[in-house]
Each structure stands twice: as structure tokens, then as C-alpha cells.
Amino acid sequence: MGHQFTRAHLLLVLIIASAVASRAHKLKSATFLSPELVLAPGSVTNTFHYNVDFPTGHIGIKSFHVEPVDSSGRPIPLYDTYLHHWALNRYVIPKGGSKSSSSSSDGDSANFVRNDGICQGNILGQHYGSGSETRRTATFLPDPYAIEIGNPEEGFEERWMLGIHAIDTRGVVDGQGCRECFCELYNVTIGGGYDGGLKCCEDGDQCRVKLGFQGRKRSVYLRYTVKWVDWVDGEFLPVKVFIADVTDTGERDMTETTGCQV
């Protein structure tokens, strides 16, 4: 009787161990590079790249990690190139649309599939993203949780857009001021008491560089690593993504002065 009890427990342990090992083997990983970003000292890029490389199929995302790197794949320190913010947005287009990589034409037909947050329209609708603090932020979702993707409505295909806002702070007169987009440091003029913010560090804007500083243009990429599992109904629990905004007025009349102000 005792031997049977022990054997039964041993068999149960082996079954559990086998199931855990089987689940662990389902975890997949791939690393991709964003399109090239060319930056000179003090320059700003704020660009949107459609149809970026991403795992396909009905899957569950377990983690998403980004790292700014140079053309040799070396991580770039934030005091050289500041990752102001980035965003990974999901969208769908009718099947048979543009096949080109990072096609900007997707923007004309893209129907964004926002997260479950409460901001209006497509504001803060990304599934992953935010500022430079995400560089070391753990995003791994333990079993049985995952973000379910890759199951669009019939007649549509799913794609991804990567938005990247980076500021090259090599040789600038005020690194913190450039990172915080103080208008007086940039080659823009905005009235109405607007002293700093996104409007002063848009794509193509320039932060003031120290007189006589010489620095070459360089290529920068956002390297992103995705870990995922093949989705199996009943085996994983779908995670919903919510992004809140401290500037949210709480009103929803679809004007620029209400709702999330980021």
C-alpha cells in the first residue's frame, strides 16, 4: 500500500515536471532592428515606422524589451542619445495591402487596435512603450498570462507600427534642457506661454550645440526583443493593457482641451 502511494506520487511529480518542461519549451524569442535613424549632434527624430518586423500568427506576447544601439549593435548611453519616448502600436489593414517593409502607405489605411485604456481616440493606445525608463523595466508575464494578438477579423491582417522619438545630446549646451525640450534651446518659436514640451522637439528640430563642437552623424537603431508563445485557448489567460494619463480631464467630448492631454 505504501509502495503504491509512493509510486503514485512519483508518477504525479513526473507528470507535473513534464508539463512544466513542455510549457517552457513553447517560449519563443526573436530580436529585430528598427529602420535606420540618422542623428547629428543636437538633432531630433520623431518618426513612425509602419509594418515593422514582428512575430506572426495567433500568439501571446510574454515580454518586449528595447535597446537603442549603434550600427555595430553596441548599446548607446542615454546621455548621448536620449530616448524621449517610443511606442509599439498594433493595427490592421485589409488583406492584400502594401507588402513593403515599414511602408508609410499603411498609415492611410491603418485601423489601429488600441489597448484597453480609457484615453480618447488613439492617444496612448500603444501596447508597449513610454520613456527611457523602459530600458531596464522588466516586462515578462509569468504563466499563465500573455497578451493575445494575431487573431484579427476575417479579411484583415495585423501589422505593427513603431514610433521612436530620440534626441542626440552630444555636444549640446544644456543636456537636461534638451532632453526636457525647453523651447529656448531649440530652433523653434512657439507663443502663448508655451515654454517647453513636445512641440519644441519635433522631428527635424535642432537643439543648440556648443560653439566649435564637431560631431559626425551616426546611425541609430532601436533593437527590440520579443518573447512569445503559441496561443492555446484555455492554457493562457489574456492580459489587458491599460495606460493612464495624469493630465486626463475626465471629459470625453473629443475636443483638444478635454481627455488625455499627452
- Tens digits of per-residue pLDDT, 240-250? 999 888 878 88
Say if CB 129 and CB 87 are below 8 A apart: yes
Q: State the pLDDT at residue 209.
A: 98
Residue 66, pLDDT > 60, answer yes
pLDDT in tens, 173-212: 999 999 999 999 999 988 888 999 999 999 999 999 999 9
Cα-trace Rg, the chain: 23
pLDDT band at 121 (very low <50, low <70, confident <90, very high): confident
Side chain identity, residue 192: G
Residue 112, pLDDT > 90, answer yes
Residue 211 is given by DSSP the state T
Residues sharing a CB contact under 8 Å with residue 155, sequence separation 6 or more, in sequence order:
94, 95
Give the domains, in start order, of the chain with CATH numbers: 28-170+215-238 (2.60.120)
Q: State the pLDDT at residue 13.
A: 41
In Å, how far from its chain's centre is CA 189?
Answer: 30
Distance, in Å, from the CA atom of 236 to the CA atom of 143, rounded to the nearest integer, reads 7
The pLDDT of 136-148, averaged and rounded, is 93
Residue 105, pLDDT > 80, answer no
Q: State the pLDDT at residue 57.
A: 96
DSSP helix/strand/coil, 157: strand
Percentage of the chain modeled with pLDDT above 90: 67
- C-alpha distances in Å from residue 246, one per residue of 118, 132, 187: 12, 18, 29
Element (H, E) at 45: strand 44-50
Residue 191 is given by DSSP the state -
Side chain identity, residue 119: C
Distance, in Å, from the CA atom of 179 to the CA atom of 86, rounded to the nearest integer, reads 14
Q: State the pLDDT at residue 16.
A: 44
Q: State the pLDDT at residue 106.
A: 78
Q: State the pLDDT at residue 120.
A: 83
More confident of the two residues 22 and 56:
56
**Cell output for 70:** 549603434
Distance, in Å, from the CA atom of 232 to the CA atom of 160, rounded to the nearest integer, reads 22
Nearest Cα residue to 126 out of 224, 235, 194: 224
Residue 24, pLDDT > 60, answer no
Residue 56, pLDDT > 50, answer yes
Side chain identity, residue 65: H
Residues sharing a CB contact under 8 Å with residue 132, sequence separation 6 or more, in sequence order:
78, 82, 83, 84, 85
Exposure string over 174-188, b if 16+ CB within 10 A, otherwise e: ebebbbbbbbebbee
Say if CB 44 and CB 185 are below 8 A apart: no
Q: State the pLDDT at residue 123.
A: 86
pLDDT band at 25 (very low <50, low <70, confident <90, very high): very low
Say if CB 100 and CB 35 are below 8 A apart: no
